[in-house]
Amino acid sequence: MLSVIAFFIAGFLLGHLIPRVPFMVLSRTSGFNKRLPPHPEPIPLSPRLTQRVLHMRLFHHLGTMTTLLPLVFGYLSILGGQSTFGYGLFLAGGWTLLSRAQAFLGGAPVACTLEMAQRLQLVMNVADSEEACCPHPQPEWWVESVRCASCSKKLDDMLRPDLGRPRKDGFFRGWLRLWISDGYPMVHKDEPQK
């Protein structure tokens, strides 16, 4: 009986983890992060940052596609006799697909969106125009908003999601945090902010 439960849990964990591998692992290679300040420092707004948001969006979507793996392998394991392991895989894969499908009912499909990239571009446009907040605007993306580094005015109250930089909280804690948060910002608006 114990081994049955262990197989089910192993299947479920594996099935839950597979779709998250692209954004948890691929984006964290050092070559990919050379030009960004280390986590968790604020990131200056630039076309590079906008590009990064779009890359992360791609990684998340790639992950949604890899959900097919646990579904297919789960199904095969059920057919092949290793059914508890298979059910675990299948359930976890289905769970991930359902949570991504929620987007059709409203809400962001994944942590990084096209809208986010557009808002960053908008802030940069304003900083370049005559309506800029100060003579030398330096918009930066902090965890809880986009602020100007020169005059510290808040330019956009968009929360910063995980942007794929290697995390300062270390490999395991960083991983666990990413796994739980799925890359979404872990601060909430209604919490008191420092």
Please select the residue that binds Zn ion; options are 111, 120, 148, 178, rule is CB under 5 A. 148
Distance CA(128)–CA(151), nearest Å, equals 15
Q: Which two tokens stand for residue 143?
A: 């965890």
178 belongs to the binding site for Zn ion (CB under 5 A): no
88 belongs to the binding site for Zn ion (CB under 5 A): no
133 belongs to the binding site for Zn ion (CB under 5 A): yes
Please select the residue that binds Zn ion; options are 151, 166, 167, 177, rule is CB under 5 A. 151
The DSSP code sequence of 34-50 is TTSPPTTS-EE-SHHHH
Distance CA(23)–CA(7), nearest Å, equals 26
Q: Which two tokens stand for residue 26?
A: 């691929």
Residue 24: strand, helix, or coil: helix
Question: Could you tell me which stretch among 38-46, 71-79, 85-93, 141-149 binds Zn ion (CB under 5 A)?
Answer: 141-149
149 belongs to the binding site for Zn ion (CB under 5 A): no
Element housing 155 (H / E):
strand 154-156
Distance CA(7)–CA(189), nearest Å, equals 39
Give me the least distance between CB of 144 and Zn ion, in Å please.
17
56 vs 123, which CB is nearer to Zn ion?
123
127 belongs to the binding site for Zn ion (CB under 5 A): no
Give me the least distance between CB of 43 and Zn ion, in Å please.
16
Are the C-beta atoms of residues 148 and 137 closer than 8 Å to each other? yes
50 vs 150, which CB is nearer to Zn ion?
150
- Site residues, Zn ion (CB under 5 A): 133-134, 137, 148, 150-151
